[in-house]
Structure 1
Amino acid sequence: MKIQLTFKNLLLFIIFFFLMHELHELTHIITGRMICGCWGTRDFNVWSTCADCQSSYAVAATFAGPLFTFIFLWLGWYLLKYGKTPQHQSYGLLFILGNMQFGRMFMAATGSGDEVWGLRSLFLNADHSNFLMIKVIAFLIVSCICLPPLITVYKAIANQKKVLIFIAFLVIPLILDTVVILMALNGILTKGFLNQVWIMGTPLLITLWFLFCALVVGINFKSLGSFAKAN
């Protein structure tokens, strides 16, 4: 598959990446609501269950976001490997590259991310003596889940300068996500702009951002079937 490196195609890819980030966060907050019976609080990348939550199963909300991401990664793997049309394979490539796989491995390796926090909640000793082991286990689990789809993507890319393009699709979206979502939009939210909670415990600015990304991806979803074309 040859990724179409046009401005429109790359812009749509980044917006799709942002959309999947937001769906990941919504999965956390919705799962927390289902378990606790009340909405938690959140910004663009940090969330919590509601203060009154007494459920011993609340940690499931922590794992729900990564589970959503992993499902899309492996759906992408299936479409890329077994898709019957170039469009299906293109969507497979998109689902894998557009779901922060490298970011999940990087966060686990540095001792952050949902997977580490979830395992800490379940297994961390009071003196934190087993934190390193938890971090290593989380990294191994996340890597075992994320690497097979990534290897399949790498093998499928037929562009020239394949290695450079592959690395760029792993790293640049994370940089843009950090600058646009974590720094710019969270910064605007912190200053009080459209920060009133509207639905699902979510500030209005985040909801408008989600609707914008969903609308752009929805209108152009058919074109994303040619994100990559058969070589």
Structure 2
Amino acid sequence: MHAHSEFEIFSYIVSGELHHEDSMGNKEVCKKGDVQFTSAGTGIKHSERNGQKSKNTHLLQIWVEPNQSKLVPSYATMNFADSDKKNKLCTIISSIDNEDETRSIKIHQDLTMFASILELNNSITHHVAPGRKCLIQIVQKADDPCVCMSYGPGEEIDVKGGDVLFVTTTKTKPVDLKITGKGKKTEFVLFDMGDGKPHNISTNRIYL
């Protein structure tokens, strides 16, 4: 068990199992497709471990500084099947102030996290509004191009497994970010963030 406070922490399970236990009385095993969320607030203790002896656990773990201090600690989990993400952006995390998103985990920050599993030659487009930031991380480990990202006429880049891209816009000019599958199946996450408090993001942890 170890302590945390004043951060909101969520884990996106890619494969394997994450065994969780905390001082709020929560105890569960999270598996592929699960997203586990903790608002540490005024302080919690928890433990997370791989309970399997023969398999690795692969997850993305993201830490975000909330826009309020001294929150009451809370915990939530939600499952998002592959079919929810297939060739589209599935909303995983959204701001507690965003009442339009009803099936997502709520966070105390101007941040939305999407996940997608993009098949070959399929495309999705995400509109990044003026003054916002966008971070994209390719989940799998692959050297070959996984997706092609285009953000304007003649402006494109091939992105490989494990790559992270950070996109910013000016206060007056938006960006339409088009993502096209170049591999058989590519899983990625996308964060759309405001320009408020800094977002401390730590991703792609592997628990052995």
Shorter-chain TM range is under 0.3
Q: TM-score, normalised by structure 1?
A: 0.23
Structure number with the higher helix fraction is 1
Q: TM-score, normalised by structure 2?
A: 0.25
Greater gyration radius: 1
Higher RCO (C-alpha 8 Å, min separation 6): 1
